[in-house]
């Protein structure tokens, strides 16, 4: 069984001081509640960039855990990164892959998660201590969330039966519910960029 609340220990968090741990614990406390739409809101007196940064680390860790569960997500089974038959994604990071390239789903997701970790480990993007966030942080965060959303799309539309088989679909559902309410609250991902997840979103909004 996946340990949803253990994802905080799966990688090194980007910060270590007391205030940051307080924010991480505050974010974590929202996961046990049905009122995620209210609890993802920025706590009074907290910095928006800091709140977003903490959640990027959280969702990165969650998706690492969820992706590791998908034993059927192989190059043979998933030769392209997609979210259903209508949506296909090509990888480009501007460094190793300067032009969009078609990769298998596991290769795409692995590159994506490594790309996100590169930002998390970069103190110019995720500052430590009393250092300030740069002016482009929100722009970078939106790009990260947009790409993380694609992983949820692939997991739902290609591997949901596998999650059901191992009886951990509730883990995926809770993670995505948290993700959706967060990006919606702060307008981090345009609706057109998660069109492929509309059936799941409709269920979330009805509950």
Summarised one tens digit per residue, pLDDT across range 146-175 is 999 999 999 999 999 999 999 999 999 999
Q: Residue 78 annotated as binding? A: yes
**What's this model's pTM, rounded to 2 decimal places?**
0.84
Residue 88 is part of a domain; what is its CATH number? Answer: 1.20.140.30
Measured in residues, the chain has a length of 207
Position 4 in a domain:
no
* Contacts of 65 by beta carbon, 8 Å cutoff, 6+ apart: 2, 3, 4, 6, 7, 10
pLDDT in tens, 46-97: 999 999 999 999 999 999 999 999 999 999 999 999 999 999 999 999 999 9
57 backbone φψ class: left, alpha, beta (φ>0; ψ -120 to 50): alpha
pLDDT in tens, 137-150: 999 999 999 999 99
| CB contact burial 99-118 (16+ within 10 A = b; e otherwise) | eeeebbbbbbbebbbebbbe
Q: Residue 178 annotated as binding? A: no
Q: Residue 159 annotated as binding? A: yes
Instruction: Identify the band that residue 1 occupies on the pLDDT scale cut at 50, 70 and 90.
Output: very low
Domain that holds residue 180: 44-206
Position 182 in a domain:
yes
Position 11 in a domain:
no
Position 87 in a domain:
yes
Place of tokens 């799941």: 200
Please give the pLDDT value at position 10: 36
Total tally of structural domains belonging to the chain: 1
Q: Residue 154 annotated as binding? A: yes
Percent of the chain residues past pLDDT 70, beyond the cut = 84
Indicate if the pLDDT at residue 181 is higher than 80.
Answer: yes
Position 26 in a domain:
no
| Mean model confidence pLDDT for the chain | 86
Position 185 in a domain:
yes
Which residues partner with 81 through β-bridges?
89
Position 6 in a domain:
no
* Contacts of 201 by beta carbon, 8 Å cutoff, 6+ apart: 180, 194
Position 102 in a domain:
yes
């Amino acid at each position: 069984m996946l340990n949803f609340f253990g994802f905080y220990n799966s990688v090194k968090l980007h910060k270590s001081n007391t205030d940051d741990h307080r924010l991480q614990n505050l974010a974590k406390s929202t996961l046990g509640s049905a009122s995620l739409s209210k609890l993802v809101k920025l706590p009074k007196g907290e910095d928006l960039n800091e709140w977003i940064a903490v959640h990027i680390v959280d969702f990165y860790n969650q998706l690492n855990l969820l992706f590791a569960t998908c034993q059927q997500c192989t190059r043979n089974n998933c030769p392209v990164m997609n979210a259903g038959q209508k949506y296909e994604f090509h990888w480009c990071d501007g460094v190793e892959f300067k032009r969009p390239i078609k990769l298998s789903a596991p290769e795409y997701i692995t590159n994506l998660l490594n790309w996100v970790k590169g930002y998390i480990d970069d103190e110019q993007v995720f500052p430590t201590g009393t250092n300030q966030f740069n002016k482009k942080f929100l722009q970078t965060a939106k790009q990260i969330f947009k790409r993380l959303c694609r992983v949820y799309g692939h997991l739902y539309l290609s591997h949901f039966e596998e999650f059901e088989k191992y009886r951990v679909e509730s883990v995926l559902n809770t993670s995505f519910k948290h993700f959706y309410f967060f990006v919606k609250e702060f307008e981090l991902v345009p609706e057109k960029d998660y069109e492929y997840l509309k059936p799941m979103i409709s269920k979330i909004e009805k509950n």
